[in-house]
Structure 1
Amino acid sequence: MSDLLPLPLPTGYRSRPATIADVDAIHRLVATCERALYGRAEVDPDGVAADLARPGLDLALDTLLVHDPAGELAGRAWVNRRSEVDVHPDHQGRGLGGSLLAWVEARAREAGGERIVQTVPDGDRRAVALLRSHGYEPHAIAWFLEIALPVEPVVPEPPAGITVRPFRAGDERAAYQLTEDAFDEWQQRRKSYEEWALLTVERDIFAPAVSSVAFAGDQMVGAVLSLDLPDTDEGYIERVAVRRDHRNQGIARVLLRHTFRDVHRQGRRTCTLWTHSQTGALSLYERVGMTVRHSSTVFGKALTTR
């Protein structure tokens, strides 16, 4: 049972944990926040559901929703080593963000965490100021990249000894091993296969037809895994990885070009992805023609600091 104190809220507001039945309401809230910042929504309901189903996340303890007096969702938070906090634009300036942030930190301490991380859009100056005022410090940068595809991209030949084909059933475990090995170089925690699959190949919107894999003999040495996001005319790449001993050969460039071509053939004229400053991959994406649409900063705080 949690020992957290009641959340301080404005008169008439109330809080409760989230449930899977709240996915659509949470999606609408986050989409509204994104439209206010970017002029468009980028979140999808499947991604919200995947977050709530993360292994180790206890909905009753690790999530919180805040509703206004009319019963509309005004804010939400979850914490599971990292955290997310969103407040509806119509309810900002009333202390909800500060209350949810305090709850996130208290819950993380209660769960035995030593550090909390939160990613905030750089354009959300109110949220950036709030985090800084609570002792959070910048840790890394995340960039949302895009490439326009007005004509079908030319796909170069793969390096000698490398074959490229679309992702197919049976590739899941090899793709997991490859991508987690690559991400081990900068991520703080290796995912289990079950958690990784939940966030990628087991999602309803996983798009094997626009996901490409590279092989050296019978060994998978590169992969680009894509999602078919609903309500958008853009392609989206979820994971890019090349095995360490096969880097700097042009494999990633070939795989990306395959995906760009397949996205174009679907009738979409833009392809997007997120990358992180600790991956060192920004220059690769810029070399294949991608540019930064917007950026976010990853803030961290030691939980011994109050």
Structure 2
Amino acid sequence: MVDQSPVPLPAPYRGRPATLADARAIHDLVAARERAVLGTTETEPDRILADLGVPGLDPALDTLLVHDPAGRLVGRGWVRGRRSAIDVHPDQLGRGLGSALLDWAEARARQVGTEGLSQTVSDADRPAVALLRSRGYEPFVTQWLLEIALPEEPEVPAPPPGITVRPFRPGDELAAHRLTEDAFDEWQTRRKSYEEWAAHTVGLDSFAPALSPVAFAGAEMVGAVLALDLPETDEGYVERVAVRKDHRNQGIARLLLRESFRAFHREGRRTCVLWTHSETGALSLYERVGMSVRRSSSVYGKALEPS
């Protein structure tokens, strides 16, 4: 394999950009890292495909794969705007691959004029945390994986007056995109196009319309829970929760969550999980419906000096 890496890599490793054909190998790498740190795999294969196909990403410039002499994928980097992801195979730690990939990510971010770079890592991933801190990165957002046990079918309250609830149907996609992006505008740095949003929600193979309740006031969608039916786990997974601003504080979010939990229970799932983070201010909402923190991650970032 010819080394195509734009930054020096430790010998005898070789680098090249990623392609869609690499999605399976990248997932295997990410899964190995997750099992080593968390004891389980959380990232599904179609999530890797969505990341590689996100609008605005140029895989030839914004991705880097690292292979060992036998051709095995042992590291990967991904950069888009201020966001980055770096993974090194657990049996290759301590060989300088993480530092080299971080050098590449920072160089790529500077090349496109990005003023800062961030990366999300599990608080349990001590090598990754130590590397980022040694390079001047500081945590600025906390993320929590929340869980709820479902030994019995959850009770679901009646909707507020004027609100109707039903499962997600074909044709709801654009309304759900507008609703969730409007809700997330309060804390996210940029609004996602429909194509980018769909690639990580309703366009996933694991998206489960029957487990995703939506709320309406008349013909207007005012609330949604978008859920995934992940094939490699026995847990339910909620991907998005949103309520339109003028319909908050009516119990719609709690109602929709309990609808989704009940649907998962009827599918045989006895636990349901979701992620939230400190900028949404939603942790107390999830605690009120009976969820608790399983583990946490942090978003680390730093400002980049111009090259």
Map Cα deviations across residues 123-161 of structure 1 (whole Å, 9 max, x no partner). 011111111111112110111111111111111111111
Alignment of 1:151-166 (within 5 A): 151-166=152-167
Report the equivalent of 1:58. Answer: 58
Deviation at 1:10, TM superposition (A): 2.3
Q: Could you tell me whether the CA contact under 8 Å between 2:235 and 2:272 is conserved in 1?
A: yes
Q: Is residue 13 from structure 1 mapped to residue 13 from structure 2 by the alignment?
A: yes
Deviation at 1:9, TM superposition (A): 2.0
Report the equivalent of 1:85. Answer: 86
Report the equivalent of 2:174. Answer: 173
Deviation at 1:305, TM superposition (A): 7.4
Deviation at 1:301, TM superposition (A): 1.2
Residues of 2 paired with 1:147 and 1:67: CA distance? 40
Q: Could you tell me whether the CA contact under 8 Å between 1:17 and 1:65 is conserved in 2?
A: yes
Residues of 2 paired with 1:9 and 1:202: CA distance? 36
Q: Could you tell me whether the CA contact under 8 Å between 1:63 and 1:79 is conserved in 2?
A: yes
Q: Is residue 254 from structure 1 mapped to residue 267 from structure 2 by the alignment?
A: no
Q: Could you tell me whether the CA contact under 8 Å between 2:23 and 2:49 is conserved in 1?
A: yes
Report the equivalent of 1:183. Answer: 184
Structure-2 change in CA distance of 1:305 and 1:126 (3 Å): farther
Report the equivalent of 1:40. Answer: 40
Q: Could you tell me whether the CA contact under 8 Å between 2:201 and 2:239 is conserved in 1?
A: yes
Report the equivalent of 1:112. Answer: 113
Counterpart secondary structure, 2:142: strand
Shifted more, 101-110 versus 192-201: the winner is 192-201
Map Cα deviations across residues 13-69 of structure 1 (whole Å, 9 max, x no partner). 100001111111111111111111111101110001000110000010000000112
Counterpart secondary structure, 1:278: coil
Map Cα deviations across residues 188-234 of structure 1 (whole Å, 9 max, x no partner). 00001111111111112111010010111111110000111121111
Alignment of 1:258-273 (within 5 A): 258-273=259-274
Report the equivalent of 1:24. Answer: 24
Residues of 1 paired with 2:264 and 2:5: CA distance? 49
Report the equivalent of 1:289. Answer: 290
Structure-2 change in CA distance of 1:78 and 1:272 (3 Å): same
- Structure 1 gaps of 5+ residues are none
Counterpart secondary structure, 1:84: strand
Map Cα deviations across residues 159-192 of structure 1 (whole Å, 9 max, x no partner). 1111111000111111111100000000000001
TM-score by length of 1: 0.96
Alignment of 1:216-235 (within 5 A): 216-235=217-236
Deviation at 1:8, TM superposition (A): 2.4
Alignment of 1:111-150 (within 5 A): 111-150=112-151
Deviation at 1:5, TM superposition (A): 7.8
Alignment of 1:272-283 (within 5 A): 272-283=273-284
* Residue identity (%): 71
TM-score by length of 2: 0.96
Amino acid at match of 1:263: F
- Residues paired across the two proteins, number: 303
Report the equivalent of 2:213. Answer: 212
Counterpart secondary structure, 2:279: helix
Q: Could you tell me whether the CA contact under 8 Å between 1:150 and 1:269 is conserved in 2?
A: yes
Deviation at 1:105, TM superposition (A): 0.6
Q: Could you tell me whether the CA contact under 8 Å between 2:148 and 2:272 is conserved in 1?
A: yes
Report the equivalent of 2:97. Answer: 96
Residues of 2 paired with 1:111 and 1:171: CA distance? 36
Deviation at 1:295, TM superposition (A): 0.7
- Structure 1's consecutive aligned runs of 4 or more residues displaced over 6 angstroms after TM superposition are none
Residues of 2 paired with 1:62 and 1:6: CA distance? 11
Q: Could you tell me whether the CA contact under 8 Å between 2:6 and 2:104 is conserved in 1?
A: no
Q: Could you tell me whether the CA contact under 8 Å between 1:135 and 1:305 is conserved in 2?
A: no
Counterpart secondary structure, 1:224: strand
Residues of 2 paired with 1:61 and 1:305: CA distance? 18
- Structure 2 gaps of 5+ residues are none
Residues of 1 paired with 2:39 and 2:306: CA distance? 36
